[in-house]
Structure 1
Amino acid sequence: MTGRSALSDAPQDAGAGSRPALHRTIGPFQMALYGLGSMLGSGVYGLMGQAAGQVGNAVWLAFLVALVAALLTALSYASLGSRYPRAGGAAYISERAYRSPLIGFVVGLAVACSSLTSVATQSRVFAANLATLTGGGEAIVTWLALGFLLLLTGLVLRGIRESMWVNVLCTCIEAAGLLLVVAVGISYWGSVDLFETPPAGEAASDVMMLLVLQGSVLTFFAFIGFEDTLNVAEECRDPQRTIPVGLIAAMAMAAVIYVAVAITAVSVLPWRELAAAPGPLTAVMERAAPWLPPIVYTAITLFAVANTALVNYVTASRLAYGMSHQGLLPAWLGRVHATRRTPHLAIVALFVVVTPLALIGTIGQLAAATVLLLLLVFALMNGALVLLKNRPGEPHGRFEIPLVLPILGSLVCAGLVIVRVTTGDWRAPALAGGMLAGILLLYALFRPKADRLSANA
């Protein structure tokens, strides 16, 4: 166990000797759009209505408060990425900070579970949206989901350069869809009181901040996705600079887009109508731009969903690759294709795992449970930065932040976990607990095998 915890500062390059390494092609521009595409996703299309139901016209303010909360953890990730630019960064950093392979294993698989459930969910959503254009029943949706997964796997196998440029294209279309909402609705700005909140038993000024804080718990999840940037560190040019610049730029762009869309949405539609609409932003477009064919927004949604799935597939495969080089997963997952320079066996293994999840159909509760696990990961990663900053001999990165920021970030994430567990549906916390127990069981079963392999090496 001691040997596994004493990890070197430098990435364990799969290209040492005769083995090929991952291909370094990602610059700050691509990294920024990679993070932005992961954050924007398709969730914000429905999230806007849910947030308006809680906060009223002040939904834009809830996004700003959520940005501050999310930025605390994002800055920790940026600092950690500049210190330890490795694939599977969360697993490596948590193992190094806490000197525990168990914590590295739990953190790595928790992030992997989140990515896999996202890929499965988005493939199903993509198929359902495509089926509305082509027609067909549930059987068609299943076949479309399978076809989408095959295409996605082929793209990720092809190479990181191709995957990143497809991500750039999808992110630009995705962002354009949200900016289109702003463009057609900006003439409505100034027509409503942007501080109006749902009525309460006392003056709005007394409860407004409480409502905004409640809304920010919900809107916080619109910023989840920044953590994916850490897992492609070994495919970045100058990762110590690329990761912080790309991550912070992505957060800034997402915040501007979210706030502008939120102001537009409540300006075009009364917040009660927005909250009741099945597709809030679609309803905004129908009111502000009735001349726009509905198929346009459906097509944009397809790109948004596909992009989310692509980013999470890349994240999960690089996480498996990185964990294999830590000895936390089987070594064959860390093999790199000699020509394509991708972790091809890890990619194929993930396809085998994610396909049954996608074909099941409804895994919404499972996806909600993985969000809880992600919040635990965020709390641990903030704590990891605190430990590493205070430990003598640890390398410094190009991007350093004050110690108080990761401490606050850890407290915020722990608070969000408490809020999610104590309010709402009990099934998501129960599933999260079950998944955590399953990860611990896997570690107990796998660890003796890993020890024997290390002893025989």
Structure 2
Amino acid sequence: MVTSNPPTLKPRADLLRRKSVEASLASVDDPDRHLTRSLTAWDLAVMGVAVAVGAGIFSVGATAAANYAGPSVIVSFVIAAVVCGLAIMCYAEFASTIPVAGSAYTYSYSTMGELVAWIIGWDLILEMLLAAAVIAKFWGVYLSDAVALFGSTLAATLTVAGVDVAWGPVVIVAVFTTLLAIGTRLSSRVNSVFTIIKVAITLFVVVAGFFYVDSANYSPFVPPSQPAPVGTSALQQSLLSFLSGAAPSSYGIFGILSGAALVFFAFIGFDVVATTAEETINPQRTIPRGIFAGLAIVTVLYILVTVVVTGMVPYTALAASGSPSLTTAFVLVGADWAGKIISVGILVGLTSVLMVLLLGLTRVVFAMSRDGLLPRSFSRTSGRFHTPVRLQIGAGVVVAMIAGLSRVEVLEEMINIGTLSAFVLVSFGVPILRRTRPDLPRGFQVPWSPTLPILAGVACLWLMVNLTTLTWLRFAAWLVVGMAIYGGYSYRHSLVGRAQRAAADG
């Protein structure tokens, strides 16, 4: 409940028009577009771990060590975790103040206006759509690999009407789309089972790996900078080094920073957790507790795995392998048995990641649709299941088609830039809402505001400029498409815009 009357705001018939906090809170009472509060702090913590601990925990650290930072990838993870922690504090304050679906989109609408909200909502769609499709694609690949490790064969594709279709992604997306359509609470319970299994597998592999660690492999901890491999183009180096005129390089300080930007992929799940604010019991207390608990668990797990993989074999051996992973490290030390256990862990891990991403994707589209920026029919919920069934099915179909028919994995780094752009706006939005609406009750407050939120935003920007120039060009193209949709449809159909036009005409 708001403790005092909101300030009187003049209508804005422009791109910066805002949706008031009161209007956002009132939107949850729409009987045709209503979500049920059923999630606890445990559910949110598990959700954060579920989406952050997937195949990446067995590969992203090894890849970053091999190609960017060597053993100092441990520092890259610490940097990424600190930046994520700062941003997550901002998410926790917003989610406990405006417990409504939509995450960064909803928060930006209340602080920076409609155009910024649209841009960040469009970015979130990019992040979660691509992430879900990439994970689904990898699930199908790892399923075939896992079956092969146990002595059998399983074709990864089927030919349908002359077109090769990766059937694995289609099947797994269909299963979890059905679960999510039936109910968020049921999906959360299934998710908890998968998450507990994959954390147990991860811990077992880490403990086993420590027996093969050789401290000599940690030296040099920060490998000296060296030219990037022949054939590396300027567009494949970080935007920061590209703008500074530096030649493409690996390792050294730039390598640690590039590694941090890459391993940030490990922490993308926590903005997805914030999209469930409207389905959380007592969100003012539950959301901060759930988010921070999940972040702590994920950070410890990733650093443990990274310490093991860089201690088992030299980073140069990982780089020479071509596709480095934790399995690579075990094979190089003669422990081939670990491949089977890791393959099972990857499959279980990807399963729960996919489910949370599908949930997050639909909740962002749901919020944008309820506000009229996308067709309102998308946000209708089922009277029986109290979920946006048609939207969930539609999103599942799109994800399955992308994963089943395209090489979506080449766009993997765009997931990071979509996440980081959302983190930037949420971080900068905290001091804005503090200034414009100091009267709002907050279940959690970021300490040392505005200094800490601004620091979080700047840190996220820093990681963004350490992504490749090619990623930035693709991101710009995505934004151009989004602006075309906003200008052609969303601006005219916005409920906030309609209300302002009605008030002006009246």
TM-score (normalised: structure 1)? 0.89
Going from structure 1 to structure 2, the CA distance change for 1:131 and 1:13 (only over 3 Å counts) comes to: same
2:88: which partner in 1?
Answer: 74
Question: Using a 3 Å threshold, how does the CA distance of structure 1 residues 275 and 250 change in structure 2: closer, same or farther?
Answer: farther
The Cα shift of 1:137 comes to: 4.8
Checking the alignment, whether the CA contact within 8 Å between 1:108 and 1:319 is kept in structure 2 is yes
CA distance, structure 1, for counterparts of residue 130 and residue 310 of structure 2: 32
- What SS does the aligned partner of 2:465 have? helix
Aligned counterpart, 1:65 = 79
Cα distance change of structure 1 residues 445 and 56 upon mapping to structure 2, 3 Å threshold: same
Q: Is 2:304 the partner of 1:260?
A: yes
The 1:329/1:7 distance shift into structure 2, 3 A limit, reads farther
Question: Which has the larger displacement, 282-291 or 322-331?
Answer: 282-291
Instruction: State whether structure 2 residue 209 is matched by structure 1 residue 185.
Output: yes
Residues of 2 paired with 1:201 and 1:295: CA distance?
A: 36
Mark the CA change 1:210 to 1:279 in structure 2 (over 3 Å): closer, same or farther.
Answer: closer
Structure 1 position 90 matched with structure 2 position 104: yes
What do residues 124-166 of structure 1 show as CA deviations (whole Å, max 9, x unaligned)?
1111222332421532762222222211211111110111112
CA–CA separation in structure 2 for the residues paired with 1:109 and 1:162 = 28
Q: Hey, what's the Cα distance between the residues in 1 that align with 2:100 and 2:221?
A: 45
Cα deviation, 1:14-71, whole Å, max 9, x if unaligned, reads: 554x547322221111111101111222223221222212322232232112211221
User: Structure 1 residues 195, 398: closer, same or farther in 2, change over 3 A?
Assistant: farther
Structure 2 counterpart of 1:357: 402
* Counterparts of 1:55 and 1:201, CA distance in 2: 9
Query: Deviation digits for residues 304-346 of structure 1, max 9, x if unmatched?
Result: 1122211110001111222222222222222111121111122
Kept after mapping to 1: 8 A contact 2:424/2:461: yes
Q: Which residue of 1 aligns with 2:4?
A: none
CA distance in 1 between counterparts of 2:155 and 2:411 reads 27
CA–CA separation in structure 2 for the residues paired with 1:396 and 1:387: 15
Contact 1:88–1:321, Cα closer than 8 Å, also in 2: yes
State the match for 1:139 in structure 2. Answer: 158
| Structure 1 SS opposite 2:25 | coil
Kindly state the Cα deviation for residue 87 of structure 1 after the two structures are TM-superposed: 0.5
- Counterparts of 1:285-434 in structure 2, within 5 Å, are 285-286=330-331, 290=335, 292=337, 294-401=339-446, 402-403=448-449, 404-420=451-467, 424=468, 426-434=469-477
Given the alignment, which residue of 314, 317, 342 partners 1:273?
317
Higher alpha-carbon deviation: 85-94 or 328-337? 328-337
Residues 188 and 394 of structure 1, relative CA distance in 2, 3 Å threshold = farther
Give the match for residue 268 of structure 2.
224
RMSD: 2.7
Does the 8 A contact of 2:37 with 2:280 survive in 1? yes
Summarize deviations over 1:67-121 as a string: whole Å, max 9, x none: 11221111111111111111112111101101x2121111112101211111111
Match of 2:3 in 1: none
Q: Which AA in structure 2 matches 1:191?
A: S
Instruction: Specify the alignment match of 1:438 in structure 2.
Output: 481
Checking the alignment, whether the CA contact within 8 Å between 2:21 and 2:110 is kept in structure 1 is no
Per-residue CA deviations over 1:343-391 (Å, capped at 9, x if unaligned) read 1122122124323312332123433234223222211111111211222
89-98 vs 392-401, greater mean Cα deviation: 392-401
Distance in 2 separating the partners of 1:214 and 1:118 = 20
Task: Check 1:412–1:218 CA distance in 2 against 1; reply closer, same or farther (3 A cut).
Answer: same
Whether the 8 Å CA contact 1:76–1:405 is kept in 2: the answer is no
Provide the rounded CA distance (Å) in 1 between the counterparts of 2:470 and 2:188: 36
What TM-score do you get using the length of structure 2 for normalisation? 0.81
The one-letter amino acid of 2:58's match is Y
Task: Map 1:229-240; keep pairs closer than 5 Å.
Answer: 229-240=273-284
> Compared with structure 1, are the counterparts of its residues 201 and 115 closer, same or farther at alpha carbon in structure 2 (3 Å cutoff)?
closer
1:340 alignment partner, SS class:
coil
Task: State how far apart, in whole Å, the 2-side matches of 1:418 and 1:387 are.
Answer: 24
Q: Which runs of 5+ in 1 are unaligned?
A: none
Segments of 5+ residues of structure 2 without an aligned counterpart are 1-10, 148-152, 160-164, 227-250
Whole-Å Cα distance in 1 between the matches of residues 86 and 478 of structure 2? 27
Residue 114 of structure 1 pairs with residue 127 of structure 2: yes
Paired residue secondary structure (1:395): coil
Q: Is the 8 A contact 1:378 1:413 kept in 2?
A: yes
In 2, Cα distance between the equivalents of 1:441 and 1:210? 36
Residue 139 of structure 1 aligns to a residue in which SS? strand
Residue type of the partner of 1:183? Answer: V
1:201 Cα deviation after fit: 7.5
- Aligned amino acid, residue 486 of structure 2: Y
CA drift at 1:189: 4.9
Query: Per the alignment, in what secondary structure is the counterpart of residue 466 of structure 2?
Result: helix
Deviations 1:258-313 (A, max 9, x none): 11111111222222223333242112334568373633322221111122211110
CA distance 1:321–1:201, change in 2 (3 Å) = closer
Aligned 8 A contact 2:52 2:268 in 1: yes
Query: Which segment drifts farther, 28-37 or 133-142?
Result: 133-142
Q: Distance in 2 between matches of 1:369 and 1:281?
A: 24
8 Å CA contact 1:14–1:335 kept in 2: the answer is: no
Amino acid at match of 2:259: G
Partner of 1:11, secondary structure, is helix
CA–CA distance in 2 between the matches of 1:287 and 1:367? 27
Cα distance change, pair 389–289 in 1 and its aligned pair in 2 (3 A): farther
Amino acid at match of 1:22: L
Question: Alignment partner for residue 165 of structure 1, among 186, 189, 200?
Answer: 189
User: More displaced, 182-191 or 319-328?
Assistant: 182-191
CA drift of 1:413 comes to 1.4
Match of 2:232 in 1: none
Match of 1:150 in 2: 174
**CA–CA separation in structure 2 for the residues paired with 1:297 and 1:201:** 32
Identity, % of aligned pairs? 25
Write out aligned runs for 1:8-27 (5 A).
Answer: 8-9=21-22, 11-16=25-30, 19=32, 21-27=34-40
Native 8 Å contact 1:236 1:242 kept in 2: yes
Residue of structure 2 aligned with 1:244, choices 271, 280, 288: 288
